[in-house]
Amino acid sequence: MNTSHLMPTSIEAEEAILGGILIDPTAISRVADLLKPEFFAIAAHQRIFSTAITLLTQGHSADLMTVTNWLTDHGQLDGIGGLSKLAQLVDRTVSTVNIDQYAGLVEEKYRRRKLIEAGIRIAEAGSQTARDLEEIIAEAETEILSINSRANSQEFSTVADCLSQVWASLETGAPPGYFTGLHDLDELIGGLPRKDLIIVAARASMGKTWFAIYLALQIAKKYGLPVVFFSAEMSKEALTKRLLAQISGISSQRLMWNKIYEEEWEKLSAAVGELSELPIIIDDTPGTSLTPASMRSVLRRVEREHGSPGLVILDYLQLLGERNAGNRAQDVGAIAGHCKAIAKDFDVPFVALAQINRGVEARNDKRPMMSDLKDSGDIEQDADLAVCLYRDDYYNPESAERDKIELIVRKQRNGSLGTAKCWFNPEKGTFRNISK
């Protein structure tokens, strides 16, 4: 479809900007950070502006004489319409007073043209029925969001810029992440850091999901931030009952069986009221269908409807992807890399639960190591923080550590390793501090 006649442009604004640059040596510095050559709709205008930027970076003025000489020396003067084109731009320009406003208008027209082009590509992709729909939707959202963000967004920072941000954070003393409320663990890791991939690994039935639920409630209640819970293993109904169990203190098993004692109804009703007010979003798409692209799509929607998320949880990592893939470890490792990218892009802690191989059962010390990760691939490499869970009373009912869970930090990119302990009730999923 030919849409060239529909493309929004403002030739007058483009000419006013270029004419202003040619008559006023200071004009280029006023618009250099606002515009890029590709913002101009006409190729000749792109070349003239690019020449002015080149001269500016070389420490030269970008007036009519220097621009003309540069274009002539590089054999490009005829390509832009010759000296008559430059003279025409100068003749049509009165002053540079409104050059900043013209720059905004040129950028707006450029973004409108990009929107039309993206719409054409999206329409063409939508007709490709052989492609996965979620993949097409994710690409479409990425296209639109890239247009919505400022086209001239900064792609790098000087160390001075970084230092000002660091100094401000040091002055406020604000933590870089969100406290878990488990004092010994917070003392060890400093809370859940934003932009980090946090792996929580354990054997089955050790308490991974309970721990994730605890973190979800902590962030939603204490900070009032949306929590997105991708439950690839458990249905949303089952996960909701676990959330109710942790809030109400009622046995999760009886909640699963819909068996509530008479004296518990009031407590359950209060828990329902509390939970209904919390910004927790559950996506129970099965692991075979859940992809990094679909997770991004959900997170963008949550951002639009509920605000920026405070925590993302995936339960659990090895359920995603093709289960019968030839190189399963590589497949899972790639998914972990995508989760890390999501954490960084959305400025959020990403907690990914992971299963431990059953080989740990054959050891005398059954505390898991990172090397015990099932289909490990690059999980350990991409993780910024890795916490392994261990309950001694799971293996030894008469253990002196009964009702305690160990949170073993096996990797911490910006901190030390160690073990934090807390009380854990596997029936209700509750976590409590040992130390006051």
* Separation CA 11–CA 344 (nearest Å): 39
Whether residue 338 is contained in a domain is answered as: yes
Of 233, 305, 401, 406, the catalytic one is 233
Q: What is the pLDDT of residue 376?
A: 64
Same-domain status, 189 and 310: yes
Q: Structurally, how many domains does the chain consist of? A: 2
Q: What is the pLDDT of residue 413?
A: 85
Same-domain status, 385 and 268: yes
* Separation CA 385–CA 351 (nearest Å): 9
* Separation CA 376–CA 360 (nearest Å): 14
Whether residue 163 is contained in a domain is answered as: no
Same-domain status, 125 and 272: no
Same-domain status, 429 and 305: yes
Whether residue 158 is contained in a domain is answered as: no
Q: What is the pLDDT of residue 333?
A: 76
Query: Could you tell me if 314 and 230 are in contact, meaning their C-beta atoms sit under 8 angstroms apart?
Result: yes
* Separation CA 58–CA 37 (nearest Å): 17
Same-domain status, 393 and 283: yes
Same-domain status, 325 and 188: yes
Mark the ranges of the chain whose per-residue pLDDT is less than 70.
1-5, 148-157, 169, 173-175, 322-328, 374-378, 436
Boundary (domain end) residue, out of 131, 148, 165:
148
pLDDT tens, position by position, 228-285: 999 888 888 989 988 988 888 888 888 889 888 888 898 888 988 888 889 999 998 8
Same-domain status, 232 and 277: yes
CATH code of the domain covering residue 392 = 3.40.50.300
Can 274 be counted among the known catalytic residues?
no
Q: What is the pLDDT of residue 327?
A: 65
Same-domain status, 380 and 423: yes
pLDDT tens, position by position, 177-187: 789 889 889 88
Whether residue 294 is contained in a domain is answered as: yes
Whether residue 157 is contained in a domain is answered as: no
Range of the domain at 269: 176-433
Whether residue 171 is contained in a domain is answered as: no
SS (H, E, C) the chain: CCCHHHCCCCHHHHHHHHHHHHHCCCHHHHHCCCCCHHHCCCHHHHHHHHHHHHHHHCCCCCCHHHHHHHHHHCCCCHHHCHHHHHHHHHHCCCCCCCHHHHHHHHHHHHHHHHHHHHHHHHHHHHCCCCCCHHHHHHHHHHHHHHHHCCCCCCCCCCHHHHHHHHHHHHHHCCCCEECCCCHHHHHHHCCEECCCEEEEEECCCCCHHHHHHHHHHHHHHHHCCCEEEEECCCCHHHHHHHHHHHHHCCCHHHHHCCCCCHHHHHHHHHHHHHHHCCCEEEECCCCCCCCHHHHHHHHHHHHHHHCCCCEEEEECHHHCCCCCCCCHHHHHHHHHHHHHHHHHHCCCCEEEEEEECHHHHHCCCCCCCHHHECCCCCHHHHCCEEEEEECHHHHCCCCCCCCEEEEEEEEECCCCCEEEEEEEECCCCEEEECCC
CB neighbours of residue 198 within 10 Å? 26
Q: What is the pLDDT of residue 214?
A: 92
